[in-house]
Structure 1
Amino acid sequence: MFKLYLDPGHGGNDPGASGHGLEEKDITLDIALRIRRLLNGYENVSVKMSRTDDNFISLDQRTNEANDWDADYFLSIHCNAFNGSAHGYEDYIHDSLSDASITKRYQEIIHHEVNDLNRLTDRGQKKADFHVLRESIMPALLTENGFIDNAGDAAKMKDPSWRQKVAEGHVNGLMKAFKLKPKIAPINNQTLYKVIAGAFKNKDNAEHRVNYLDVIEIKAFVDPTYISGELWYRVQAGAFEKKDNAEDQVKRLKKHGIKAFIITDT
């Protein structure tokens, strides 16, 4: 089992960097949630996130939790800022590590894969004494995904399809670095029909829905996702290769007074 501790930078009363109507804490959370969702398609992967919503989590809490969980890898997602003119992507490992270290090797692999998809200037692989790199006892990487105060980079950050590509780059790097194996995909890459049994702004309401569905023997989970730039907590109650099966699930939910709908994923 590969255990990834996934850390969206900042959160809550710590917005991080800002610019062009964006806050770093929102961009990092969106990218991290997309990474987690993509990793659901791989075998024997367990992901623990430092936060899944807009909460403040101290740096000590993040590294202590990762260490106590005995994670295999610590991945921290950030955006950069400088003076509005700097732009591009860079990533960091701790400055005490040699270029022959396994952490450096992981950095090289992930750096290449992220840069292959993010359409940002490559600012290189770097080292620094950041807390999450120093205090985590497992190999760790911090990625800086563009400069939020740069007009060009910020325009990309506002695009959900760009954030998806950044997430894909990270996952491609993790797959190659840790030899992750994809789960068996639907035949001929056919559409997957997901049943959504509610979408809530309040996480507690979403969890209450999941608990109710458990009582009526319908398995479900909370899937945080950004919709039109806002964080929502969707309750997913099944994913089916056949649309008829998804529609049957919707009908079953309707009998219990729950409005549901189908979204597609390929």
Structure 2
Amino acid sequence: MLKLYLDPGHGGSDPGAIGNGLQEKNLNLDIALRIRDLLVNNYNDVSVRMSRTTDVTRSLNERTNDANAWGASFYLSIHINSFNGAASGYEDFVHASVSDTSQTARYQDILHEEIVKLNNLSDRGKKKADFHVLRESNMPAMLSENGFIDNGSDAAKMKDSNWRQRVAQGHVNGLVRAFGLTTKSDTHRVIVDGTQIGAFQDDQNVLDAVKKHLNSANRIIIEKVD
């Protein structure tokens, strides 16, 4: 059983990074909710608890204390980056004390690989830092920085709901690989121009996914998951 503590960074009185008409807190929440829905709707043996599901203020201590008390098996914090307008791309972090041969590092390797397959951002690499949520969580933890909100090219992608869905799917694909999750019965993958953009049990969700890409895609495949 994967007990995923899913943490959309910032929220409420803390907007996080701001740029190009966007607020980080809203993007973090949108992507995290998509990750949650993809996991609970399509995979067995997974339970998701979120630090917030709406635009509320929660301290860093409240987040890690909640995850620790729940007994999460993995902590995943979703963020958007900001620097000087010139920086761009994707990167993720585990705690500075983590060994490169640890279980946490293995999870980072897998998630990083799957996320960069789908996010259409430059790869800034796997990194380490002394962030609170990585240091104070009792379980393996990773924080992803999904583009730079103050970079025009990255921000244009963030405004596209299809892009945010792909980012969510990349995180899910990594979790599926890392924790050996199995799909529920009667699940269908939707593959657009060679890239899986979702896996759905509900037929209407399959049709909605196809409709979103019908006018822009060269090839759409609907494939039943065995």
| TM-score normalised by structure 2 residue count | 0.84
Give me the whole-angstrom Cα distance separating, in 2, the residues matched to 1:33 and 1:109: 21
The 1:190/1:16 distance shift into structure 2, 3 A limit, reads: closer
Q: Which residue of 2 aligns with 1:195?
A: none
Q: Which runs of 5+ in 2 are unaligned?
A: 191-200, 207-226
Q: Percent identity?
A: 63
Q: Which residue of 2 aligns with 1:174?
A: 175
CA RMSD of aligned residues (A): 1.5
Q: CA deviation at 1:240?
A: 6.4
Give me the whole-angstrom Cα distance separating, in 2, the residues matched to 1:19 and 1:2: 35
Deviations 1:163-201 (A, max 9, x none): 000000000000000000111125xx499xxxxxxxxxx
Q: Which residue of 1 aligns with 2:102?
A: 101
Q: Which residue of 1 aligns with 2:198?
A: none
Give the paired residue count. Answer: 195
- Give the SS at the match of 2:78: strand
Matching of residues 77-226 of structure 1 within 5 Å: 77-186=78-187, 189=188
Q: 2:58 matched to 1:53?
A: no
Q: Which residue of 1 aligns with 2:205?
A: 265
| TM-score normalised by structure 1 residue count | 0.72
Q: Which residue of 1 aligns with 2:25?
A: 25
Give me the whole-angstrom Cα distance separating, in 1, the residues matched to 2:103 and 2:87: 30
Q: Which residue of 1 aligns with 2:38?
A: 38
Q: 2:13 matched to 1:13?
A: yes
Deviations 1:186-239 (A, max 9, x none): 5xx499xxxxxxxxxxxxxxxxxxxxxxxxxxxxxxxxxxxxxxxxxxxxxxx9
Q: Which runs of 5+ in 1 are unaligned?
A: 192-238, 242-263
- Give the SS at the match of 1:71: coil
Say which one has the larger Rg.
1
Give me the whole-angstrom Cα distance separating, in 1, the residues matched to 2:170 and 2:205: 19
Q: Following superposition, which runs of at least 4 residues in structure 1 exceed 4 angstroms of deviation?
A: none
- Give the SS at the match of 1:184: coil
Deviations 1:107-154 (A, max 9, x none): 000000000000000000000000000000000000000000000000
The one-letter code sitting in structure 2 at the alignment partner of 1:265 is N
